[in-house]
Chain A
Amino acid sequence: MSDVLLLVPEIVLVAAALGLLLVARRLERARAAATLVVLTAGAAMAAGFAWPSPEAGFGGILAGDGYARFFDVLFLATLATSTLLSIRHVDSDRVRPGEFYALLLLAATGMLLAASAMDLIVLYLSLELMTLCSYVLVGITREKKASIEGAVKYFLLGSFASAILLYGIALTYGITGATGFTSIASGATENTGNPLLLSGVVLVVLGLAFKIAAVPFHAWAPDAYQGASAPVAAFLASGSKAAGLAALVRVCMVGFAPEHGLWSNVLIALAAMSILLGSLVALSQTNMKRLLAYSSISHAGYALLGLIAGTPDGASATMMYSFVYAFMTLGAFGIVIALDRRGENLSDYHGLARTNPGAAALMFLFLLSLTGIPPTAGFAAKFAVILSVVGQGHVGLAVLAVLCSVISAFFYLRIAVYMYMTDPEGEAPGRFPSTVSAALLVAALVTIIGGVLPDTLAAWTVPP
């Protein structure tokens, strides 16, 4: 019975989602539904801390440890922030708010479960819950062709990745006879070097690499982000990526711990390719959402750097990175959303500092953080992951990461140059809705606090 206490945040989210579905036909405006979602996210977060939750429950398939709580906070904050950002878009795109917010809530439920899963089957189901909702969210603006195209590409590649993940789970189960992470670890120790087990480990890691859009499983991200409405893209870039990382860190650190040598090599390849390709391709982008998509691909690579070490400190660095990245990308997407139709192309940012100095200053902060320049949170996070890679002796990888940071500075700061050093074109953007401003403020606060006082944030990153 006490096991249920573990699930209270998820139950709260699902109850709200079902309630929204019941009244979906009668909901006209986004504001009421969005208020419910923000309150629900707050209630779920409070529920996570209201009582000391058991460390594990339901026969050990779900964990309630500090690791899960950390990601719960991240996902619920992402949910609330994306909701605040989405209100105007939901109304102007004529999306039905009941369905939109129900899908958002259910996707967040999947994320929460993915972070506490201690069993491959539970992990698979929770990630499916998240991605199935995401496919629909990307394609929910049905009148736009790009939206449908992005959703179909996302769906096809996502199903393919799910199959890879399932195949890996099947092979792992076949060799170790278990789906629980701790049993897999003991089964793997007895079968070290078994080629089928090695294939299982590699396939599971690759299947999860799709969720975080690491190269070579990144092809869906630019089209899905560009096709989706900007709030959905922000939610995917921050929440979905963090969920994939949460799952990957726990699977690798707990379940596949005996095979560290193998998966760390796979991760090195994935990280190097993601960082390099993400930074280089972003150079030629002219659409802001595509640019942020390639940026998210390279950041997936940076986040993986921490996990390569396989140490608790490295895992903490990755957790910190996913937290910080979620907020700085929410902030950057937030500016795109705030500028509405005038934020999609890079040329829209010409002279923004003159027409809207507040937005330009905030965008500059998020760009600095995405580049990794002190005193922003992006610097502290990047420093921690690169430090952990150097600690493992992968100096070449660290040099590549730093070099690509320099390359990325070119395209991030080019936007800053547009904003501050060119003349405005076209009409000035209108006033931001207060909800968008509130969300931007939250993102900016995390970006600054994470940079000035990185230790306060790092204290919460409990490795699995």
Chain B
Amino acid sequence: MAEYLGILVFFALAGTVAGGFVVLSSIFGPKKPSKVKSEPFETGMPTFGIQTGHLTIKFYLTAILFILFDVELVFLYPWAVVFRELGAWGLTGMSIFLGILMVGFFYAWDNGALDWK
């Protein structure tokens, strides 16, 4: 079990740091409550009327586009680490992968997903 001690220490430290910040900011932080800030669902946009579960589709499109680049990064980081060992073959593979992702991005752009009207 000794090898798990490090993980335990990590959890304890993480808990202390995270909890510490919450406690400290609630003691020392400035408090200027306003109507928008105290709403349970805060998007930075002023809300109109009662939220009945309908959100504008634009948030969904933004989230999807975020995933596009997120997935790209998830694969780019490990590839960058072993970039030299993989050589030209790895570069070709990654270019094809990025090309396919960019077709998706172009499709979204082309069809107006980026226009926040």
Contacts and interface: CB of A to CB of B under 8 A. Distances in A.
Nearest to A1: B89
Interface in B77-117: 100, 103-104, 106-107, 110-111
A22 B109 CA distance: 11
A18 B103 contact: yes
A21 interface: yes
B111 A18 contact: no
A18 B100 CA distance: 7
A24 interface: yes
A14 B111 CA distance: 20
Interface residues of B, number: 7
B110 A24 contact: yes
A145 interface: no
A25 B111 contact: yes
Per DSSP, chain B at the interface is helix
Contacts of A21: 103-104, 106-107
B100 A24 contact: no
A21 B106 CA distance: 9
B110 A25 contact: yes
A409 B104 CA distance: 48
Contacts of A14: 100
Contacts of B110: 22, 24-25
A14 B106 CA distance: 16
Contacts of A18: 100, 103
Interface residues on A, range: under 10
A24 B110 CA distance: 9
Question: Which residue, of A21, A24, A25, has the highest number of chain B Cβ atoms within 10 A?
Answer: A21
Nearest to A21: B107
Question: Which residue, of B100, B107, B110, has the highest number of chain A Cβ atoms within 10 A?
Answer: B107
Interface in A93-115: none
Contacts of B104: 21
Contacts of B100: 14, 18
Contacts of A25: 110-111
Contacts of B103: 18, 21-22
A24 B106 CA distance: 11
Nearest to A99: B107
A22 B111 contact: no
Contacts of B111: 24-25
A24 B109 CA distance: 12
B100 to A, nearest CB: 7
A18 B99 CA distance: 10
A21 B100 CA distance: 11
A435 B25 CA distance: 70
B90 to A, nearest CB: 13
A24 B100 CA distance: 15
A2 to B, nearest CB: 13
Contacts of A22: 103, 106-107, 110
A24 B111 CA distance: 9
Nearest to B99: A18
B103 to A, nearest CB: 5
Interface in A1-56: 14, 18, 21-22, 24-25
Given A21-B106, A22-B107, A25-B111, 7 more contacts: A14-B100, A18-B100, A21-B103, A21-B104, A21-B107, A22-B106, A24-B110
Interface of B: 100, 103-104, 106-107, 110-111
Interface of A: 14, 18, 21-22, 24-25
8 contacts: A14-B100, A18-B103, A21-B103, A21-B107, A22-B103, A22-B106, A24-B111, A25-B110
